[in-house]
Amino acid sequence: MTPLLNQLRETTRPYHEQTEQLLYSDDLRAGMLSANQYTHLLLIHGAFHQALEQAIDQHAAFFRDYEPDLRRKTLWLQADLASIHQPMPPLVDLFADWSPASLIGAAYVGEGSMLGGKTVFHLLQQSPSLQPLLENARFYRGYGSETGARWRDFGLFVANKQSSVDPSEVIEGACKAFQLYQYLFEKTQPLAV
């Protein structure tokens, strides 16, 4: 792990823990997540990832080695939401005026969500009310067997950009991205029906 990734992990830990707690982690671990809560989680991730992907696309040259086309999650979330007859949340420009360095921090949060995806998918299967919804679920399956390789590639991308960005801007971007998840929890809750 690169020094910057280590710094990101250490500095954002409190934000990560707050966000995880907010996103129904107790019900998830207890096997009691409801269909409404699952829908809400998909809406939160949908709003975050579609906005992040759009922002990264605005800086295509900077993010070329990030391989954004291999990391898109919006289509997975659209499919998961469509399978439960729920539209994607409206696109909100969450990352307006974010620098590429700040967007690396946001990408760290987005890519980190894929690391835990296998565990989350296993926990989702413990909730009986979700069984019919998970048969073709895609988002929480993440990158599957490619997860480790994609995370290592992301680490290389960050390492290669370290000398051209201000590390504090990357870290601030990651902290703000976790706060956006908290904002989206409130914003999307009324849509989860």
Enter the tokens of residue 88: 């994607």
Q: What is the pLDDT of residue 1?
A: 65
Q: What is the pLDDT of residue 47?
A: 97
Q: Please check whether residue 186 is in contact with residue 92, taking contact to mean a CB–CB distance below 8 angstroms.
A: no
Return the closest-CA partner of residue 105 out of 47, 186, 162: 162
The whole-angstrom separation of Cα 115 and Cα 124 is 15
Return the closest-CA partner of residue 52 out of 5, 2, 6, 113: 113
Tens-digit pLDDT profile for the chain (193 aa)? 678 999 999 999 999 999 999 999 999 999 999 999 999 999 999 999 999 999 999 999 999 999 999 999 999 999 999 999 999 999 999 999 999 999 999 999 999 999 888 889 999 999 999 999 999 999 999 999 999 999 999 999 999 998 899 999 999 999 999 999 999 999 999 888 7
Q: What is the pTM of this model?
A: 0.95
Enter the tokens of residue 121: 């998918």
Q: What is the pLDDT of residue 21?
A: 92
Q: Which helix (H) or strand (E) holds 24?
A: none
Q: What is the pLDDT of residue 117?
A: 83
- At 18-70, the pLDDT tens digits run 999 999 999 999 999 999 999 999 999 999 999 999 999 999 999 999 999 99
- Please, is 93 exposed, middle or buried when counting C-beta atoms within 10 Å of its C-beta (0-12, 13-18, 19+)? exposed
